[in-house]
Structures are given as structure tokens and as C-alpha cells.
Amino acid sequence: MRVTNSMMFNSGTQGMLDRQADLFKVQNQLSTGRRILSPQDDPIGSAEALKLSQSKAVTTQYLTNQATAQTSLGTLDTTLGTLGDALTRIAEISAGADTQSAEKRDLLAVEMKGILQNIVGLANTQDGTGLYIFGGYHSESQPFSLNSAATPPYSLGPQTYVSYSGDAGQQVVQVTASKDMNVNENGLDVFMKVEDASGSVIGRSMFDSIQNMIDQLDSSSGVPYSQASYSQAFGDIKNAITHVVTVRASVGARMNSLDSLTAAGKDVNFNYDTRLSEIQDLDYTEAISRFSNYQTQLQAAQLSFKQINQLSLFNIL
């Protein structure tokens, strides 16, 4: 076979180009820390890595949803805790008030009025985005306002002391592929439809019960004192405390469930990261060894190409 100068030149040039390409690839691997730079490097590994990345992205989105739900429920739990404390204080004030003097009952009524105002404020609590947490689906408008047309004694319906303009909606967030979670409590269930120990609605809102108690203690209210009315109002307030505890327990159960889901989701993402690392991450020791080998081969190819191109009979004449 006759070897021409052109064949030697092309072969030498191709050999150097191949080694340069190998070096360039290893350099990219070393700079990125990735073994797979394109699907052709490992078609099977690339396909598995793509599936794992997609699965991880879905799990990460659910973790984000869980964090959002946890924040909403945390705000709700804190508000309900403050509400429970306020109701407990009202119960403490009310207990035995029927045996106090008229002057003492007036003082108790003044304190109770301030607490009631705070409770109305709690009912109109807004989250960090300005939405009312007890408004149901109508979370952009204030849900509770005083009913100026109502007259004592107060009860659900036209004579309720504080009107509710929200609805019974429950805002839901998808926290896993198969689970949705309520992240709020509407004001209708929390404040208006107070239940007794048997689960029956007592017929008076939380605000109604407190204002009825105030009217019994305040001598300037114009409402005549009645032991029966006092006892009913006091019982209603105790029912309201139990009702809030029940609602808060439900919120706490959801928060605990979210904690478990978040821990599980983080474990799943850790497994995805581990497997992705096994597939994609570069073995630096092996890569540096290949880099040195390709570098040596390129230098040898360059030297041999130079020497072969210098071959000529004139050099030995």
C-alpha cells in the first residue's frame, strides 16, 4: 500500500483533533463536576437522571405547598390561642360576678368590653398578604362588623350582635399527590355557630354570648339583671372556650400531619439527590487520570506529526 504525504497529514491532523476533543470533554467534566454532559455520554443514565429530576421537582413543589400550608395554619393556631386566652379571661371575670355589688359589676363590664373589642379584632385578623383568615372564600373583605340594628338579648339571626359577611368556604392546598389539606377555618364555624359539649349549636354567636354577659353586668345597659340570663351567658362563654379548644385541636392535628409529610418529602428528595449524584457526578480521580493520559497522547501525536512532516531524502544527503 502506498502511503502518500496527504494520507500522513490527514491521519496526523485527525489524531490531534481527536485528542483535543477528548481533552475538551474532560475539561468540561472537571469544571462542571458532571460525568454526563450530553445524552450521548450515557443514554441510559441520562434517561434515568431526567426521570429523577422530574420526580424531584414534583416533590419540591409539594414541599413548597406544605410550607405555605404550615405558615397559614401557624397564623391560625396563634390567633386561636390568643382567642382562647381572651375567652378564659372573660370566664374568670364572669365567675361569681352575680354575687358582686352593682359598682363592682360595672367595673367588670368595662374590662369585658375591652376584651370583646379585641376578640372582634381577632376575628378580622389578616395574614401577611392582607387576606382575612376567617373570611372563607371571601378573604379579601372584612368578614365581621357590628350589627347596629340588633337589640338585646342577642342571638343568631337578625339580632346577632356582630354580623358575618364571609362564607363557609375552606381554602385547600394540595400537599401530596393524593392529599389536599384545609389551611383555614371560616368565621361561621369558629365564631358564629358555637357548639356545646354534645355538638349542638347553642344558637348564639361568641360575640352574642359575651355582649349578653356585659349587658347583665353593666347597670347602664338598660337590660334588667336576671339570674337565668346571667347563667345562660356564663354557660355560653364556657361552651365557646370548649369550642375554640376543639377547633384549635383540629388545626394542631393538621400541623402535625404536615410535619410528617414534610419530613417524608425531604427524605424522598434526599434519596433522589443521592441517586442523581451516583448517575451524574464525576469521579475526579478517574477524570484527572484520563486528562493526563489524553494530554500525553496529544503531545505524542503532535511530536510524531512534526517528525513525520520533516521526513525527506534531502535531510540525509
pLDDT value at residue 279: 85
Average pLDDT of the chain, as a whole number? 88
In angstroms, rounded to a whole number, what is the distance separating the alpha carbons of residues 37 and 53? 15
Portion of the chain with pLDDT greater than 70, in percent: 84
* pLDDT at residue number 292: 74
Q: Give the list of residues 6+ apart from residue 54 with CB closer than 8 angstroms, or none.
A: none
pLDDT digits 0-9 by tens, 192-251: 999 998 899 999 999 999 999 999 999 999 999 999 999 999 999 999 999 999 999 999
How confident is the model at residue 317, as a pLDDT? Answer: 54
Catalogue the E-assigned strands of 44-177.
Answer: 144-146, 162-164, 172-176
Instruction: Identify the residue with better confidence: 41 or 124.
Output: 124
Question: Phi and psi for 301 in degrees, rounded to 5?
Answer: -65, -40
Residue ranges and CATH numbers for the domains of the chain are 62-273 (1.20.1330.10)
pLDDT of res. 5: 58
